[in-house]
Amino acid sequence: MSVKSCCIYSTGVISILTLIAGIVLVLSQVFQNIVNAKIKKEIVLRNGTHAFDVWENPPPPVYMQFYFFNVTNPAEVLKGERPAVLEVGPYTYREFRPMERVNFLENGTKVSAVNTKTYVFQSDMSKGPESDLIRTVNIPAMTVMEKFKDTSFIANIISSYMKSVNEDLFTTQTVGELLWGYKDGLLKALKVVDPTLDDVFGLFYKQNATDDGEYVFLTGQQSYKDFAVIDQWKGQNSLNWWTTDECNMINGTNGASFHPIITKNETLYMFSSDLCRSIYAIYEEESSVMGVPGYRFSPPSKVFANTTENAGFCSPPGNCLGSGVLQVSACKQDAPIVMSSPHFYQADEKFVKDIFGMKPNKEQHETIIDINPVCKLNRNINLMPAPYHNPTATMGHSVHNVDIGKPLTHTSVICPYS
């Protein structure tokens, strides 16, 4: 075969292969576009669809893990020294979270529902039983001190009662009592002068087998990007706890579902009633969950940073505690409660230094959401920052009581279209 014939033959082969490759690429893109179009059409909250079934009653198991901080030097703290704490946990609960009282509205473009959550203790996944004792800050005492600090008559009653029963600013209760509630003697005594007080206290008191109010969600019928987006909560389309319209906005979904066909340049918005605000997450890196590829999203540090954009979250106005913490007294019956990520991850260094035992770590304490780009939510860790109770005004130090910064740890593959 001559050199010329060989070149012509080679050129022909390359041309054919290039043509085939081009056709394959075009067909694959066309096929992907067809699949995406079908997904966008099928992912709607409507009776009879798989997406609705998964949204109404999530099939994969969800677990809530609680970590507590034992205060190891209460006597020294009362003298003004730095608190020392030791993390204990996890105490794990299986969480059941079906949507109930479902009602379609406005020709199927919206749906109302309540998200009832029930917790069942899992001893085989826990460090110990619910009867384990935890020594922590006396939150009921701190709360009523703050509530009645300007009412001398009741303040004297509080002081007299605590002295008579030898009660101080620390208490020892079981895990179960701290979470789900126990009768508090001080609250019972004050109930005589203020009948509105509840004499039972618990971090999750009245939150087992209950819901956080009625939601109205967009179904995604008009646009796939509207899938499960919150339209209203408790009859309102905005909050009233914060001082700016932007901070009072209810944005995104409830964090359990997102629209399909997620891209890396998207910002995922979520509303958390526990945090009393909306937050957002941005793409961080590619990931894999149970062999399924995904995109990892995480809230950037500026979500809770002490910035001009977040000034509306300062309560009262102008009283900004610093980056990484959020005072939520306005939405927690004026209780002196501040929220933070576990171990003050991404918070100002001063908070970490104030308490011996804080060890913020990105791998353990970062909030992450792993999402398959075609399906919806795959894995969600640390969605809810930890409650942080701040008795600074009376003790001179901040004590981090309970760390639920590794809460909502669940791994699943939820694909409403397959």
Question: Count of domains in the chain?
Answer: 2
Is the domain of 15 the same as that of 136? no
> Of 172, 366, 355, 178, nearest to 284 (Cα)?
366
- pLDDT tens digits along 149-185: 888 888 888 888 888 888 889 999 999 999 999 999 9
Residue 190 forms part of a structural domain: yes
pLDDT of the residue at 301:
94
Residue 54 forms part of a structural domain: no
pTM: 0.80
Largest CA distance in the chain: 111
Is the domain of 202 the same as that of 271? yes
Is the domain of 38 the same as that of 71? no
Integer angstrom CA distances of residue 107 from 49, 94, 103, 221, 253: 16, 36, 11, 10, 21
The 3-class secondary structure across the chain, one letter per residue, is CCHHHHHHHHHHHHHHHHHHHHHHHHHHHHHHHHHHHHHHHHCCCCCCCHHHHHHHCCCCCEEEEEEEEEECCHHHHHCCCCCEEEEEEEEEEEEECCEEEEEEEHHHCEEEEEECEEEEECHHHCCCCCCCEEEEECHHHHHHHHHCCCCHHHHHHHHHHHHHCCCCCEEEEEHHHHHHCEECHHHHHHCCCCCCCCCEECCCCCCCCECCCEEEEECCCCCHHHCCCEEEECCECECCCCCCCCCCECCCECCCCCCCCCCCCCEEEEEECCCCEEEEEEEEEEEEECCEEEEEEECCHHHHCCCHHHHHHCCCCCCCCCCCEEECHHHCCCCCEEEECHHHCCCCHHHHHHCECCCCCHHHHCCEEEECCCCCEEEEECCCCEEEECCHHHHCCCCCCEECCCCCEEECCCCCCC
Length of the chain: 418
Specify the residue for token string 């990105």.
Answer: 362
Q: Give the integer Cα–Cα distance in Å for 366 and 384.
A: 10
Residue 418 forms part of a structural domain: no
Is the domain of 167 the same as that of 315? yes
Residue 51 forms part of a structural domain: no
pLDDT of the residue at 332:
83
Is the domain of 29 the same as that of 80? no
Residues (pLDDT < 70) of the chain are 1-41, 375-418
Residues paired with residue 112 on neighbouring β-strands, in sequence order: 103, 216
Residue 416 forms part of a structural domain: no
- The crossing angle, in degrees rounded to 10, of helices 152-164 and 139-147 is 160
Do residues 323 and 346 touch, judged by C-beta distance below 8 A? yes
Is the domain of 26 the same as that of 75? no
- pLDDT tens digits along 84-124: 999 999 999 999 999 999 999 999 999 999 999 999 999 99
Can you give the residue range of the structural domain that contains 340?
A: 59-96+118-210+238-411
Is the domain of 6 the same as that of 92? no
Is the domain of 81 the same as that of 16? no
Q: Give the integer Cα–Cα distance in Å for 123 and 91.
A: 8
Is the domain of 372 the same as that of 297? yes
The 3-class secondary structure across 62-74, one letter per residue, is EEEEEEEEEECCH
pLDDT of the residue at 125:
96
Residue 397 forms part of a structural domain: yes
Is the domain of 35 the same as that of 81? no
pLDDT of the residue at 21:
56
Residue 49 forms part of a structural domain: no
- pLDDT tens digits along 272-303: 998 999 999 999 999 887 788 889 999 999 99
